Amino acid sequence: MDTITSIFREKKLKLTPQRIAVYKYLQSTMEHPSAETIYKALQPEYPTMSLATVYKALKTLVEVGLVSEINVGEGNFRYDGNSSCHPHIQCMSCARVDDLSGVCFTELNETAKQNSNYEIISNKVYFYGICSDCQKKQKDITSN
């Protein structure tokens, strides 16, 4: 909470209850929810908050760098309360998105630079596979 308070103060932005609620929700989950999922999850506690407000709060949080926006190739964005640089992996069976820790791609920027003459700022790498839950389910089906 200290981070969001000081960052918003620094940027001279209003720390509205909606913005805090969206930020707190993202801090509490590892599931990389979409705006719709966040909206539905906050409905019981914030019945007057509209989907548009959730989108606006997300936009502001992304702009100040507290939240990152990820797109694994679906029609919409997912949001991540972990704003540190880390790659993502999506299950091709159930569509969940997990963080992939312990893998770093900064050296890839150097390779890209050498091959393109660009000054490389960042890169986004997404992995696709089958999560352990889905692997188990598949094994259960084949063993029955």
Give residue 116's identity as a one-letter amino acid code. Answer: S
The correct pick among 93, 105, 109, 120 for binding Zn ion (CB under 5 A) is 93
85 is in an annotated binding site: no
Long-range contacts of 28-32 (CB under 8 A, 24+ apart): 28/81, 29/81, 30/98, 30/99, 31/96, 31/97, 32/70, 32/78, 32/79, 32/80, 32/88, 32/97, 32/98
**Closer to Zn ion at the Cβ: 67 or 131?**
131
Q: How far is the CB of 117 from Zn ion (least distance, A)?
A: 31
Q: What are phi and psi of 102, to 5 degrees?
A: 80, 5
Q: Which of residues 120-139 bind Zn ion (CB under 5 A)?
A: 131, 134
The correct pick among 66, 80, 81, 87 for binding Zn ion (CB under 5 A) is 80
DSSP three-state, residue 135: helix
104 is in an annotated binding site: no
Six-digit token string for 91: 């299950």
Residue 85 near Zn ion by CB under 5 A = no
Residues forming contacts to Zn ion in the complex (CB under 5 A) are 80, 82, 91, 93-94, 99, 131, 134
Q: Which residues are annotated as a binding site for Zn(2+)?
A: 91, 94, 131, 134
Annotated binding-site residues read 91, 94, 131, 134
